């Protein structure tokens, strides 16, 4: 660069260009600061009951049988669908520690979606621990790739403030917009103990799809979670209760807290799935637990998100033992 030809005009020109690009470029992304109203895109035929498979040593078999009992995967996934699978990959823990969804169950669900002709299956979560390590240690990164799904880290640019029209405790929250653009959202939570919420299942698993100060959800937790669930509505919930964490949840880390329960629960009604989870957890741990004891399930039922009373719906249990 020669300095002799650098005159005032050129200086001004460059100053204007630099200034403009510095101010305009960030504006390309300005839309993300506006609150937006968004709804889940696709829909599935509702099944009124739950389909449960239990007893098999192989989680793959449990999933396949439970889905079959619910009417087959074709009922939920159509050809050419873009499917998002949301497992619980919250923690840097191994599958045996039962803090994350069983990787084999995730793998089987991806395979089923592929068999039903899904165009693309995406898998992601926003872990509490460093993302790469949680993905790796959960085993889901390996199995999801093996099954042919796209597993990736959530992109911080795709979070938007989404209004919650029915919200009572929160009126809007940062959510991951990709879930509103996909055809189907399948929630694959794991049934486990949680000291604050008592249990974490399908509804709580939706917290992996939100951003912002997630920790602050914990105060007035139950109502806030129900508010979020009025917007984030997975089309299908497949609950992993193969290994169940019975204490020191949601992450624990010691095998003493893990019980091999060998259940997989499938349903389209998130409250019903969670209610069954409560009942199952009560049986495993010998506690007199009902779904009404879990405040967020009770509030969710009141908000009209689903059925809490299992006697009112058909529960189709398949024993594979």
Partner 1 sequence: MKVTKFQLSNLFQLHKIRRFSQIVFFLLFLYLIILSVTPQDAILPIDFFIRMDFLAAISTSLAARSLDMIFTTFIPACIIVVMTIVLGRVFCGWICPMGTVLDLWDRVIRGRKKHVRNSRLPHSVSMRNIKYYLLGFFLVAAMFSTQLSWLMDPIPIVTRSVALPIYSYFTYVTTSILAPLWQVPIIHHVSEPLYSFLKAHIFLNNPNIGYQAMSMYHYLIFLVFIGILALSVFQARFWCRYLCPLGALYGLISKLSILRWIVDPELCNACNRCVRQCKTAAIIDKGTGYYVQECVDCFSCQYECPQQAIRFVFQSPLKSIRVEQTVLHEGLALSRRTFLKSAIAAGVVVPMIKLKTSERNPNPWLIRPPGAVAEEEFLDKCIRCGECVEVCLTNALHPALFEADIEGIWTPRLIPMLGYCDYECNACSQVCSTGAIRNISLPDKKQLKIGLAYFNKNKCIPWNENKNCLVCEEHCPVPDKAIKFVDEQVPEQRTNRLVTVKRPYVVTELCIGCGICEYKCPLKDEPGIRVTARNEARHPQRYSGSGENTL
- Site for partner 1, rule CB under 8 A: 25-26, 28-29, 92, 128-133, 137, 153, 156-157, 194-196, 213, 215-216, 218-221, 248, 250-254, 257
Task: Choose between 11 and 153: whose C-beta lies nearer to partner 1.
Answer: 153
| Alpha-carbon span 47 to 306, nearest angstrom | 12
CA distance 291 to 202: 13
Nearest to 59 by CA among 134, 111, 123, 124: 111
**C-beta of 160: minimal distance to partner 1 in Å?**
13
Cβ closer to partner 1: 60 or 131?
A: 131
Q: Which is nearer to partner 1, 128 or 229 (CB)?
A: 128
Residue 111 Cβ, how far from partner 1 at the closest point, in Å?
26
Which helix (H) or strand (E) covers residue 133, if one does?
helix 131-138
Nearer to partner 1, 97 or 301 (CB): 97
Is 307 in contact with 313 (CB distance < 8 Å)? Answer: yes
Q: Do residues 93 and 251 make contact, with C-beta atoms less than 8 angstroms apart?
A: yes
Q: Closest approach of Cβ 25 to partner 1, in Å?
A: 6
Shortest distance, position 130 Cβ to partner 1, whole Å = 5
For partner 1, which is the closer residue by CB, 97 or 102?
A: 97
Nearest approach, Cβ of residue 79 and partner 1 (Å): 27
Cα–Cα distances (Å) from 220 to 169, 203, 224, 236, 298, in that order, read 8, 15, 6, 27, 14
Contact 169, 130 (CB under 8 A): no
């Amino acid at each position: 660069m020669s300095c002799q030809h650098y005159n005032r005009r050129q200086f001004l020109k460059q100053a204007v260009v630099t200034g403009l690009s510095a101010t305009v470029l960030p504006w390309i992304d300005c839309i993300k600061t506006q609150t937006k109203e968004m709804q889940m895109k696709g829909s599935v035929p509702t099944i009124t009951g739950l389909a449960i498979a239990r007893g098999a040593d192989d989680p793959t078999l449990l999933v396949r049988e439970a889905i079959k009992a619910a009417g087959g995967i074709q009922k939920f996934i159509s050809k050419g669908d873009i499917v998002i699978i949301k497992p619980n990959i919250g923690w840097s823990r191994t599958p045996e520690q039962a803090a994350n969804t069983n990787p084999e169950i995730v793998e089987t669900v991806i395979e089923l979606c592929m068999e039903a002709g899904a165009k693309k299956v995406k898998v992601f979560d926003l872990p509490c621990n460093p993302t790469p390590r949680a993905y790796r240690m959960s085993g889901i990164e390996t199995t999801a790739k093996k099954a042919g799904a796209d597993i990736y880290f959530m992109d911080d640019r795709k979070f938007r403030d989404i209004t919650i029209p029915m919200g009572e405790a929160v009126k809007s929250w940062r959510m991951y917009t990709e879930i509103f653009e996909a055809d189907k959202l399948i929630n694959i939570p794991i049934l486990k103990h949680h000291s604050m919420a008592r249990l974490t299942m399908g509804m709580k698993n939706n917290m992996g799809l939100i951003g912002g100060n997630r920790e602050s959800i914990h105060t007035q937790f139950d109502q806030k979670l129900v508010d979020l669930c009025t917007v984030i509505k997975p089309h299908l919930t497949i609950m992993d209760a193969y290994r169940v964490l019975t204490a020191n949840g949601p992450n624990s880390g010691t095998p003493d807290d893990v019980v091999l329960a060998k259940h997989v629960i499938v349903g389209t009604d998130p409250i019903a799935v969670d209610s069954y989870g409560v009942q199952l957890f009560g049986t495993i741990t010998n506690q007199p637990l009902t779904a009404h004891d879990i405040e967020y399930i009770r509030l969710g039922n009141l908000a009209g998100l689903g059925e809490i009373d299992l006697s009112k719906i058909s529960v189709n249990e398949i024993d594979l033992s």
